Amino acid sequence: MTTSLSIPIVPIAQSKLKGLSLENLPFGKYFTDHMLEADYVNGKWTSIAIRPYASLSLAPSMAAIHYGQAIFEGIKAYKDQQSKPFIFRPHDNFVRFNLSAERMQMPTVPDEIFMEGMMQLVKLDQDWIPTISDHSLYIRPFMFSTDELLGVRPSDSYKFMIILSPTGPYYSAPMRIWVEEKYVRAVSGGVGYAKAAGNYGGAMYATAQAKLRGYDQVLWTDPYEHKYVQECGTMNVFFIIGNKAITPGLEEGTILGGVTRMSAMTLLEEMGLTMEERKLGMDEILDAYKSGELREVFGTGTAATVSLIKELHYKDETLQFDLDKWEVAPALKEKLSAIREGKTADTHGWMIPVI
Ligand code: COI
């Protein structure tokens, strides 16, 4: 990481933290004292500053509102057992952010704004990092187009920001999942692999339909046969079949390359499972369920961490799981939390100190 930029800080007069308990927090509802803001104008990043968290004043003609050039990331900060702040694999999110930027025809954000800005912001607001289990400081970098113009073309100007939210678990209870066979999230050649805001907006209708039927989220399938599984809600998905851990591969560009997904793949192999990253069809899942080989299904994500799936509904079939018998997902969650909370050695170099 380069450390060439000194980012001006305008501190808040009085912290909002007093009186707020950092326990039992809902996801993404509270925001810390400060935020980072930078503008891209005339081909250059300018006006980089950390200032008190506040509303923005934006033109109604601002391009992002109309045409959706908007991307984001999700990263988490923790405190170790000595109360020192660390961020989980921020560089991987930085790389993915710029991949999303490229796909959405937006400028990339340099290391010294994204990484250094994030470090300085988290350092400033480190008292907001919760220390109880399943809690963390959620870091939300995002960028959107700011040209005031209704013509459909890439904007010339952009705003990059980072905000921070002390937060609890995203999905708190084991989920019932509807395997989606009508609506699609992503197609090959599309933007499924990018963390584009529209991917989330586009998922809301199908998710609401699933909720009306009593399910918590949808499991997306491929757009051609509705057979091969993609992602689940806001998560990557893993199936434990026999001694194999199987997760859909990234080669078609329809799936977000999750940082928690990558970490889970590493840890599952260390736990002695054979990791397979490949196409996985509902027929194979159903056969494995019927033969008793399908042991566990779970999702992974920055917000979701490791979230258990207790039921899958596919066509006329209901696949139900007895969570009391599960071993892999709880052990994976435990291992990941122990690394993040500094309770076990971080042998992979995933925890980056905030200094
Ligand atoms: C994350 O896991 O950070 C996500 O992006 C999910 C989010 C949309 C809540």
Does the beta carbon of 74 sit less than 6 angstroms from any atom of ligand 1? Answer: yes
Q: What residue's CA is closest to ligand 1, atom 9?
A: 303
Does the beta carbon of 197 sit less than 6 angstroms from any atom of ligand 1? Answer: no
pLDDT tops 50 at residue 2: no
For residue 269, what pLDDT is reported?
98
Tokens of 132: 């109880």
pLDDT, one tens digit per residue, over 9-31 is 999 999 999 888 999 899 999 99
Residue range 222-236: mean pLDDT, rounded: 97
Q: Which residues of 17-27 are buried (b: 16+ CB within 10 A; e: fewer)?
A: beeeebeebee
Residue range 114-122: mean pLDDT, rounded: 98
Residue range 270-288: mean pLDDT, rounded: 98
Q: What residue's CA is closest to ligand 1, atom 8?
A: 234
For residue 291, what pLDDT is reported?
98
Residue range 121-129: mean pLDDT, rounded: 98
Q: Measured from the CA of 302, which atom of ligand 1 is nearest?
A: 2
Domains with residue ranges and CATH for the chain:
34-168 (3.30.470.10), 175-340 (3.20.10.10)
Q: 162, 234, 260: which to mutate for ligand 1, most atoms within 8 A of CB?
A: 234
Does the beta carbon of 32 sit less than 6 angstroms from any atom of ligand 1? Answer: no
For residue 3, what pLDDT is reported?
45
Residue range 271-290: mean pLDDT, rounded: 98
Does the beta carbon of 85 sit less than 6 angstroms from any atom of ligand 1? Answer: no
What is the residue-averaged pLDDT of the chain?
96
pLDDT, one tens digit per residue, over 282-341 is 999 999 999 999 999 999 999 889 999 999 999 999 999 999 989 999 999 999 999 999
Contact predicate 79/85, CB 8 Å: yes
pLDDT tops 70 at residue 1: no
pLDDT tops 70 at residue 181: yes
Does the beta carbon of 234 sit less than 6 angstroms from any atom of ligand 1? Answer: yes
Residues 267, 57: Cα–Cα separation, whole Å: 45
Residues 119, 17: Cα–Cα separation, whole Å: 19
Rg of the chain on CA atoms, in Å: 21
Does the beta carbon of 200 sit less than 6 angstroms from any atom of ligand 1? Answer: yes
